[in-house]
Amino acid sequence: MNKWQNLLYSQTGRCKHIFFSGKGGVGKTSMACITAFATAGKGYRTLLMTTDPAAHIGSVLERPVFDEITDVKGIPNLYTIKIDPKQAAEKYKNRILEEAKKKFDANIITGMAEELNSPCTEEMAAFLQYVDYASLDDFDVIVIDTAPTGHTLRLLELPMDWSKQLQVKAGLSTEVSEEDRAQKAKFDKMIAMMKDPAATTFAFVMYPEKTPMIEAYRASQELASFGIQTQMVIANMMIPQEQAITPFFQKRRNMQLKYIDEIRQKFSMATLVQVPLFDREIKGIETLSMASKLIFS
């Protein structure tokens, strides 16, 4: 069994969830697309999901991405979906307020509406949608392209603190509906799944440089405090050795190698993947195919 086997596929026939997280612009979307391309190419039914409102996966795949699961033309076994946190939040808010209107007077409803107008609601609603798709049992692999680091953490922190949301939801009452209970059960299942390295791979993408490395390290420690381990770290945009032939590029490559050592020490439990700087944008089937062969063969 090669090192990818455990990171990309479940060994028990269940669905494997692969999260890509990291600072803005480090290559999360590119790595998510390359990985999904690779697993689909191996014959695994793969859902590539994005919680990034900009849905850049569409421009990388050169195919439109919709709010519902859509197969990617020309790439067998690959499906995409975009979760728009704003839209999800609207639906979530309306549903909660409609329900609350049956029980509470206008003052309480106004208070709840204000409380629900927070960015937390967007994160929560986006996570809820993710939970719905992730519970489908239709896929062998689900690859999740997230928006930059902070977003992912909030996305995870909130469900961990489910009880607070329930308080908002129930207003002054302590009543918890059947629907809440069912949703909580789904949440709990999802959180357990995220904590299980056999079911989930958490990957941090970074440049082999100080700030992205430190930020990824802090975020991964925070995840660890929720019981989620980082299994894969990707050092992206490494200057290829054969290109380090001028003093400028030699110097930069040496700097990168110094940080590779530090990344190895800091993330000693994770598999380190070094991805070279390509001579082109990561975009289109040909480039995805080249990159996935290079990284995952």
Residues of this chain that interact with ligand ATP (CB under 6 A) are 22, 24-30, 52, 56, 148, 236-237, 275, 277-278, 281-282
In the complex, minimum distance from the CB of residue 114 to ligand ATP, in angstroms, rounded to a whole number: 30
Which of Mg ion, ligand ATP, none has residue 148 at its interface (CB below 5 to 8 Å by kind)? ligand ATP
Considering only residues 19, 23, 27, 29, which one is a binding residue for Mg ion as defined by CB under 5 A?
29
Q: What φ, ψ does residue 46 adopt, rounded to 5°?
A: -120, 130
Residue 188 binding: pick among Mg ion, ligand ATP, none (C-beta 5-8 Å cut-off by kind): none
- Which residue in 199, 35, 166, 192 sits closest to 100, CA to CA? 166
Q: Using CA of residue 67, residue 70, residue 72, residue 76, what is the dihedral sign? A: positive
Residue 55 or 116: which CB sits closer to Mg ion? 55
Q: Binding partner of residue 24 among Mg ion, ligand ATP, none, CB under 5 to 8 Å per kind?
A: ligand ATP
Q: Using CA atoms, how far apart are residues 155 and 137, in angstroms rounded to an integer?
A: 22
Residue 145 CB contacts under 8 Å (≥ 6 apart), including other chains: 20, 28, 29, 32, 33, 48, 49, 50, 51, 52, 56, 57
The item of Mg ion, ligand ATP, none sharing an interface with residue 278, based on CB under 5 to 8 Å by kind, is: ligand ATP
- Work out the number of other CB atoms within 10 angstroms of the CB of residue 239: 20
Residue 236: name its binding partner from Mg ion, ligand ATP, none (Cβ under 5 to 8 Å by kind): ligand ATP
CB 146 to ligand ATP: min, Å? 8
Q: Identify which of residues 53 and 111 has a Cβ nearer to ligand ATP in the complex.
A: 53
Segment contacting Mg ion (CB under 5 A): 29-37, 178-186, 198-206, 281-289? 29-37
Q: Which is nearer to Mg ion, 28 or 93 (CB)?
A: 28
- One-letter amino acid for residue 89 of the chain: A
Min dist. Cβ of residue 6 to ligand ATP (A): 24
Closest residue by beta carbon to Mg ion: 29
Task: List the single partner that 16 binds among Mg ion, ligand ATP, none, CB under 5 to 8 Å by kind.
Answer: none
Beta pairing partners, 235: 206, 274
The least CB distance from residue 74 to ligand ATP, in Å, is: 19
**Span from 25-33, 92-100, 211-219, 275-283 in contact with Mg ion (CB under 5 A):** 25-33
Q: Which is nearer to ligand ATP, 207 or 267 (CB)?
A: 207
- Identify which of residues 43 and 64 has a Cβ nearer to ligand ATP in the complex: 64
Q: What is the dihedral of CA 176, 178, 180, 183, to 10 degrees?
A: 160
The item of Mg ion, ligand ATP, none sharing an interface with residue 275, based on CB under 5 to 8 Å by kind, is ligand ATP
Write out the binding residues for Mg ion, residues 33-92 only, by CB under 5 A.
Answer: 52, 56
Using CB under 5 A, list all residues that contact Mg ion. Answer: 28-29, 52, 56
